[in-house]
Chain A
């Protein structure tokens, strides 16, 4: 019940295209859903996050869509650029529990070709 399932494992997109990564969770107590971006040799860095009281959040070219009833959320990268090539992790946590550890998905390696 603590798992966060992420797909696809890898994604190849042409420059200017749309990248879509999907995640699903089981634990309805999760109340915080961030996406992290990780470049080789670096630690993950927060990209964008959403809470269950909204269905969509947009920051620049990055959008999270959240479906509470389906327990799914996805990351959309519009106008994908070669600089977006990285590994993306979805995550979930129960901030209200006091033990707000992040449960990470398995990651999606995105490659954007010019």
Chain B
């Protein structure tokens, strides 16, 4: 079974620039999550999709962050404009709804450095 795919793996941008991350979840997984992991901290949920609808985006800084999941499969997360404090690893995860557990499977993440 292929895992959660994310790209790019690394990105370095200057502050005030924009950046986009892409995620392809595990096939058949209806739920997709974007987490932000700042160095030395646990992942923090930014947004959760169920198919192509948003379930929870309460911690997404909507003035600069946006995310979409067209057709209920792939997803993109965008930051515009980026700030220094956005430097972090952005993790995408997916889970299968309806199983015994809602185990979240994580991708390797995109490491963003804002200079």
Residues of A within 8 A of B (CB): 4, 6, 32, 34, 41-46, 49, 89, 91, 93, 95, 98-107
Interface residues of B in 5-45 (CB under 8 A from A): 31, 33, 40-45
Taking CB atoms, residues of chain A closer than 8 Å to B41 are 106-107
Given the contacts A32-B101, A46-B104, A89-B42, A101 and B48 also touching, CB distance less than 8 Å: yes
Cβ of B55 < 8 Å from any Cβ of A?
yes
Chain B residue with Cβ nearest A101 = B45
- Cβ contact within 8 Å between A99 and B102: no
Q: Report how many A-B pairs have Cβ atoms within 8 Å.
A: 55
Cβ of B91 < 8 Å from any Cβ of A?
yes
Chain B residue with Cβ nearest A100 = B102
Given the contacts A43-B93, A44-B43, A105-B42, A99 and B104 also touching, CB distance less than 8 Å: no
Among candidates A44, A89, A99, residue contacting B56 with C-beta atoms closer than 8 Å:
A99
- Cβ contact within 8 Å between A104 and B44: yes
- Cβ contact within 8 Å between A107 and B106: no
Give the top 7 A-B pairs by smallest Cβ distance, nearest first.
A43-B106, A104-B42, A101-B45, A99-B56, A100-B102, A99-B55, A44-B106
Residues of B within 8 A of A (CB): 4, 31, 33, 40-45, 48, 55-56, 91, 93, 95, 101-109
- Cβ contact within 8 Å between A106 and B42: yes
What is the CA–CA distance of A83 and B87 in the complex, to the nearest angstrom? 29
Among candidates B55, B91, B104, residue contacting A98 with C-beta atoms closer than 8 Å:
B55
Chain B residue with Cβ nearest A42 = B108
Taking CB atoms, residues of chain A closer than 8 Å to B107 are 43
Taking CB atoms, residues of chain A closer than 8 Å to B48 are 99, 101
What is the CA–CA distance of A32 and B99 in the complex, to the nearest angstrom? 14
Taking CB atoms, residues of chain A closer than 8 Å to B93 are 43
Chain A residue with Cβ nearest B108 = A43
Given the contacts A106-B41, A107-B41, A34 and B103 also touching, CB distance less than 8 Å: yes
Taking CB atoms, residues of chain B closer than 8 Å to A45 are 106
